[in-house]
């Protein structure tokens, strides 16, 4: 996987980072690494909610997406950035109401760790076991981001990835791991 090189606050143009700018930057970075968003919806912004986990909400009729961050972490910038970076990966190829696959959650976890570390200097490497297993399988699969970009040119929706597609782009990858990556992610 390629290293993330963040733009400086001056390069963004305002001389300072705010969370909405950071979210837009994370989305742009994810698109440059893994391919553009599928569908013609816009990111409408972010909100806080009183649930335990962040998530995205896609309104397919309005062609809009909202990121929901966890209220109890409001103002904790490193955690907000980590949560937002994870969620922007889900914006690349959303399939409503399908549950994300292990590939999608693993990629989101890996990207969030890398982006948040580059943005904050804090290392986030201890996700729950189900996220860790998915992240590690994605890391094993994709030695570099070009594999993911190429796959998404053929199939832009993560939920529609198949073991055959993964094996086409990574011949010799263990079949059982390819199957695992294409299974629905199971929350603990």
Contact 129, 115 (CB under 8 A): no
5 within domain boundaries: no
Residue with structure tokens 């199971």? 186
Average pLDDT over residues 165-172: 98
157 within domain boundaries: yes
187 within domain boundaries: no
Task: Band the pLDDT of 143: cuts 50, 70, 90.
Answer: confident
How many CA atoms within 13 Å lie on the side-chain side of 105?
23
Task: Band the pLDDT of 99: cuts 50, 70, 90.
Answer: confident
Task: Band the pLDDT of 4: cuts 50, 70, 90.
Answer: low
Q: How many CB atoms within 10 Å of residue 117?
A: 18
Task: Band the pLDDT of 29: cuts 50, 70, 90.
Answer: very high
Average pLDDT over residues 39-60: 90
pLDDT of 11 higher than 70: no
Average pLDDT over residues 70-93: 95
Which residues lie closer than 8 Å to 124 by C-beta, 6 or more apart? 78, 82, 112, 113, 116, 117
137 within domain boundaries: yes
44 within domain boundaries: yes
115 within domain boundaries: yes
Average pLDDT over residues 128-152: 96
3 within domain boundaries: no
Task: Band the pLDDT of 2: cuts 50, 70, 90.
Answer: low
Length of the chain: 188
- The parent domain of residue 44 ranges over 11-182
Q: What was the pLDDT predicted at 3?
A: 60
Which residues lie closer than 8 Å to 128 by C-beta, 6 or more apart? 188
**Per mean pLDDT, which range of 3-7, 74-78, 107-111, 153-157 is the poorest?**
3-7
Please give the mean pLDDT across all residues of the chain. Answer: 90
The reported pTM is 0.90
**Per mean pLDDT, which range of 34-38, 52-56, 59-63, 106-110 is the poorest?**
59-63
Average pLDDT over residues 96-120: 92
Structurally, how many domains does the chain consist of? 1
């Amino acid at each position: 996987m390629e290293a993330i090189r963040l733009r400086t606050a001056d390069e963004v143009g305002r001389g300072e980072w705010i969370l909405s700018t950071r979210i837009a930057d994370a989305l742009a970075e994810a698109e440059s690494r893994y391919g553009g968003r599928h569908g013609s919806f816009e990111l409408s912004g972010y909100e806080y909610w009183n649930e335990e986990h962040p998530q995205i909400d896609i309104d397919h009729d309005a062609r809009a997406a909202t990121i929901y961050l966890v209220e109890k972490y409001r103002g904790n910038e490193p955690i907000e950035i980590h949560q937002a970076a994870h969620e922007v990966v889900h914006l690349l190829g959303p399939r409503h109401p399908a549950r994300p696959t292990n590939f999608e959650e693993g990629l989101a976890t890996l990207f969030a760790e890398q982006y948040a570390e580059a943005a904050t200097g804090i290392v986030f490497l201890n996700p729950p076991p189900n996220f860790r297993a998915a992240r590690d399988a994605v890391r094993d699969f994709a030695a570099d981001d070009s594999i993911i970009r190429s796959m998404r040119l053929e199939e832009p929706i993560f939920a529609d990835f198949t073991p055959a597609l993964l094996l086409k782009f990574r011949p010799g990858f263990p079949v059982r791991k390819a199957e695992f990556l294409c299974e629905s992610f199971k929350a603990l």
